[in-house]
Each structure stands twice: as structure tokens, then as C-alpha cells.
Amino acid sequence: MKVFEAGEKQILVVKENGNVYAMGAKCTHFGAPLSSGIFCKGKVYCPWHGACFNSKTGSDIEEFPALDPIPVYTVNVDPNTNEVKVKINNKTSNESTHKPLCKTSKDSNEVIVIIGSGAAGHGCAETLRQEGFTGRVIIVTKDVHLPYDRTKLSKAMNLEAKLLSLRSNEYYLKGDIEFMYENSVEGVDVEAKSVLLSNGFILNYSSLVVATGGRPRPVPCPGTHLANVFLLRTPNDANRIHAIGNNKEISVVIVGTSFIGMEVAAYLVDKAATVTVVGRSSTPFAHVFGSLIGRRLQQLHEEKGVKFIMDSEVGELLGDEEGKLTEVILTSGRTLKADILVAGLGVLPSTEFLRDSEIVLDSRGFVPVDEHMRTNCRNVYAVGDIASFPLHAKEENETRKLVNIGHWQMALHHGRTAALTILGRSEPIYKTTVPFFWSSMFGKSVRYCGYAPQFDDVVIHGDLENLKFVAFLCEQENVLAIVTLNYDPLAIQFAALLREGKTLLKQDISEDPKGWTTKLQDL
């Protein structure tokens, strides 16, 4: 890969098996330089968040979180001199273009109802219109806003909803995507193919896509009714937390060491008087990254002023005569001054309304689906954080275990897979995506690729103290996932390896953390 300047544009030129391709040089997600990523088997991977583009077409997004394609340019190679010429349009200012959307046709009687406007719901609706579906597409949502980037809520809590929107209102209008705002679904009648809305309206469907996501887990103690006790789920929640917490006389208590909790702590620590995190475990992120990395990330927060009380739980919240939070009482008896509390205890699946339907839920409230996101009921799909789906297996003929992965990138992919299934064109989810997520705290971006719900060893290379490292999460001899910080592009190299169905062994990384990347050249 090599970048060339063409006026005000940057052109990325790649060569594979004697063929030359030219495209835009920046990822359409957050503008990362694609030349800092990798090129593997006709795919260009973004180094920051794992987005992947087809180098031949650009318009084929192989992996989210990017929503828009990158532009591609005509390439001519002189057979006599091997001179490469790239034809571009200088009049085109935008380096990204939306894929065209179709509209509703009067000739179609199909109606697809999507419950939820998060990443999965948006991804499903958008894919349907991009891929030619001409029936009605209706999104039922509790929200009052257009679909927005929820990953930013805990990282930039002062942003208004309109600045977080995935698409403009004009975009959805252009694709005839209908919204029913401030509505929830009270029940589903699979036999009648209808849903009952909270406003009493009955909506009939041809296909139903359940994309209700998760709801924040509340603090399990008395006093959660008090003012200034927050669950972070919407832009309004984030804006209110920012408005109150941005005050040097305010004491903030965060309950839980989830990614949301730790990101909120990082955001508020230089704005409030004090920020204290109360965690049940002894180390943040130990079950995700391992205890060594968890302790180092806790230390990073402490270096910036965040206080931690670990191995502790909240017993009660107390307030003043006006009903505002004033104190947090721990089960140990310790009392913390608190003007605001934010829960960071993870999420629960929002599936209560399905319990009286024929749609099967598992013991934890998630919806089991097959590799095409289909539930046990015909024409009913479940996507995103509520779905328990088959990810992978060590052997092709092995029964694929169902997993639940609450990643933004995965939810977008779920939505697309469900849409393509409805259109009769989907591939199994485990053949088309690799789990990838990121977290940002104090300007440091941690990247995670793979899936390791359990691991028995963590092999770390680099400098953990100076926050430049890669960690390999292993189960016996297999590397299941990797964690990187300031170690690009190793995370996306691992993603490329997994996408091709390959495995990485502990012996491959025991001495040289990058030696195995030569395998990518042989794919």
C-alpha cells in the first residue's frame, strides 16, 4: 500500500498479484489513515476500529463500524512501460459516498417492522434499502432521536444528540424508512404476525426484527429513586450527567467497573471535585483482559485522580429533604459523600415483552438465533445485544455454541445479516465477521479482537508500564483473542487471520509477538 497526493486528495494505491487498485486513503468511520492498516486478500483494514473495505469495489464494506464506502478510482497500467495512471474527479469534494437507497413501491405488500433504533436496528433498515427491498420499513423506538452512535455517550458526554446521529433525517426520508418514536412494543402475536404498541396501536408485519438491545443494570439497593442517580443509556442521560458533574464542588460516585463506568470516570475526573469508583471485584477488567492489564488501567485512572474502592458493594443511597442524593453507604458501613451517582454495572437484555409470546428466550433472557439471525418463529429475527448466536467452533462439524457479544460492530453486522436473510442472500454470521471492540480512556485506545469468555493464560509483550503492549489471551495452546494498546496494526492483523478461518497458537507468539503475521502473506 502506498499513498499519493493528487491536489487536495490522498489516493491509496494497492497492488495484489500484479493487479493495481486505487481508492480513498481514509476510513469513512473516524478518518483513520488506511495506509497504517493492512491489506490482505483484496481487503483493506482500518487500523483504529477494524473496519474493512473491498479494494476492488470500495462500495462493499466487508466489516463495520464504517457505514459508508470508500471511493474507488479507475486505474490504467501501460503494458509497455508499466506506468500506472489513476483517474480521479477533481470536482468531487467528498471522499465518501452513500450507497444508493431504494424507496417503497406501491406494488409491494411486505412490511418489515424493526423494534429498536440502535446499531442493529439501523443496520437492518439501511441494508434493506441499500439491497433493493421495496416494501415498507418501520422502526419502532422508545427514543426521541434518530439512531445515534451510542459508543460516544460515555466518552464525550456533552455532545448533543444531533451530533451523534448516524444519518440525517433527510437520509432516512430518502430511503422511506419510517420511525414511530416514543413507542415500545407491549406484546408480539406470532400467529397473527402483529405487535401491540404502547400507544395501543396494532402493527402488522411480514417480517419482524427484534433489536431492543440492553437496558442498564440498576444498582441493587434502596434509594435508587433519588434525584441525580443515573443509568447511562441515551444522549439526554449523558448530557444531564455532564451538566451536573462539570462542577468542582460536586462529588461523583460510579458503581461498577464496566467499560461505561471506567470511561465515565475518565471523562469526569478533571471536571468534578472527586470521582470515586466502587467495584465488586478486586481488579477492573480482570475477566476481560486479565488482572495485570486491569491493574495497569486502574493505575492509569488513579494517576489522573480517580479513586477506587474495590471488593465493595453499595448497601443504600441516602438523600436530603428535597430528594437529592447526598450519601452512598457501602455494605462495609463506609459512607461516601455523593452529589451524583452513575451505574456502570453492565446491561440486561430488553426482552420482557417477549415472555408471553412464542419466541423462545434462554434462562438469562437472551433470544437464541441461528447463523442467519432467525429465531424459533418463522419470519422473526433477533439481532444485537439481545441475540445469543453461533460464533465459531474449533472444528467445522462441531456444534457451534451460542454466545452473546454486546459490541457495536457486532450489532451492525447482526442487522445486516438479518436484512440479507429476509432478502434470501445471507451468509452464516460466523463466516462473515470477527468480534472487534475498542475503549478510549485519557486519550488511550485499547483494542480487542477475538472472543475469549474464559482463558487460562495471558502472554504479554511490550511495555505494560508505559502502555505500549500486546496481550494474547490463551486457552491451553490456542490464542482466542488479543488486546493491544499503542501496538497497531496487530489487532487487525489478528482479525484478518480469523476472518480467513485460521488459528493462532501460543507457540507462535511465545517469543516474537509479530512473527506470526508473516502467515498473512500466505493467505
Q: What would the pLDDT profile of 58-91 be if each residue is shown by its tens digit? A: 667 889 999 999 988 999 999 899 999 999 876 5
Claim to verify: residue 287 and residue 373 sit in the same structural domain: no
Cα–Cα distance list, 309 to 217, 280, 332, 498 (Å): 20, 9, 11, 38
- Strand locations in 282-371, DSSP E? 307-309, 314-319, 325-330, 335-337, 340-343, 347-349, 367-368
Neighbours of 303 (CB within 10 A): 9
Claim to verify: residue 70 and residue 127 sit in the same structural domain: no
Residue showing cell 467452533: 393
Domain count, the chain: 4
Which helix (H) or strand (E) element contains residue 138?
Answer: strand 136-140
Residue 131 has pLDDT above 50, yes or no: yes
Residue 493 has pLDDT above 80, yes or no: yes
For 431, residues 6+ apart whose C-beta sits below 8 A from its C-beta are: none
Claim to verify: residue 43 and residue 92 sit in the same structural domain: yes
Q: Judge whether 404 and 347 are in contact, CB under 8 Å.
A: no
Claim to verify: residue 24 and residue 120 sit in the same structural domain: no
- At 401 the pLDDT is 87
Provide the residue range defining the domain that includes 478. Answer: 443-522
pLDDT band at 99 (very low <50, low <70, confident <90, very high): confident
Reference 19, options 84, 69, 71; nearest CA is: 84
Claim to verify: residue 84 and residue 143 sit in the same structural domain: no
Task: Specify the CATH number for the domain of residue 59.
Answer: 2.102.10.10
Claim to verify: residue 512 and residue 467 sit in the same structural domain: yes
Claim to verify: residue 378 and residue 495 sit in the same structural domain: no
The cell numbers describing 8, all together, are: 487536495
- At 93 the pLDDT is 44
- At 398 the pLDDT is 56
Task: Specify the CATH number for the domain of residue 319.
Answer: 3.50.50.60
Backbone angles phi, psi at 506, to 5 degrees: -60, -35
> Which residue, of 396, 431, 466, is where some domain finishes?
431
193 within some domain: yes
* Least confident window among 124-128, 284-288, 397-401, 469-473: 397-401
- At 349 the pLDDT is 97
- Judging by DSSP bridges, how do beta strands 136-140 and 177-180 pair with one another? parallel
412 within some domain: yes
Q: What would the pLDDT profile of 327-339 be if each residue is shown by its tens digit? A: 999 999 999 999 9
- At 58 the pLDDT is 67
Q: What would the pLDDT profile of 358-394 be if each residue is shown by its tens digit? A: 999 999 999 999 999 999 999 999 999 999 999 875 4
> Which residue, of 406, 431, 456, is where some domain finishes?
431
- At 519 the pLDDT is 80
106 within some domain: no
Residue 411 has pLDDT above 60, yes or no: yes
The cell numbers describing 493, all together, are: 492483523
pLDDT > 90: percent of the chain: 88
- At 309 the pLDDT is 98
> Which residue, of 346, 367, 390, is where some domain finishes?
346
137 within some domain: yes
Q: What average pLDDT does range 91-111 have in this prediction?
A: 80
Average confidence score pLDDT of the chain: 94
Please tell me which residue, 163 or 57, carries the higher pLDDT value: 163
394 within some domain: yes
Which helix (H) or strand (E) element contains residue 275?
Answer: strand 274-278
Claim to verify: residue 342 and residue 232 sit in the same structural domain: yes
Q: Judge whether 49 and 77 are in contact, CB under 8 Å.
A: no
Residue 95 has pLDDT above 60, yes or no: no
- Judging by DSSP bridges, how do beta strands 307-309 and 274-278 pair with one another? parallel
Residue 412 has pLDDT above 60, yes or no: yes
Claim to verify: residue 184 and residue 206 sit in the same structural domain: yes
Q: Judge whether 465 and 293 are in contact, CB under 8 Å.
A: no
pLDDT band at 98 (very low <50, low <70, confident <90, very high): confident
First-to-last C-alpha distance (Å) of the chain = 17
Claim to verify: residue 208 and residue 227 sit in the same structural domain: no
Q: Judge whether 268 and 410 are in contact, CB under 8 Å.
A: no
Residues 115 and 142: their CA atoms lie apart, in Å, by 9
438 within some domain: no
104 within some domain: no
Claim to verify: residue 342 and residue 354 sit in the same structural domain: no
Residue 521 has pLDDT above 80, yes or no: no
436 within some domain: no
- At 395 the pLDDT is 46
Claim to verify: residue 203 and residue 239 sit in the same structural domain: no
Q: What average pLDDT does range 411-421 have in this prediction?
A: 97
Q: Judge whether 368 and 376 are in contact, CB under 8 Å.
A: yes
Task: Specify the CATH number for the domain of residue 497.
Answer: 3.30.390.30
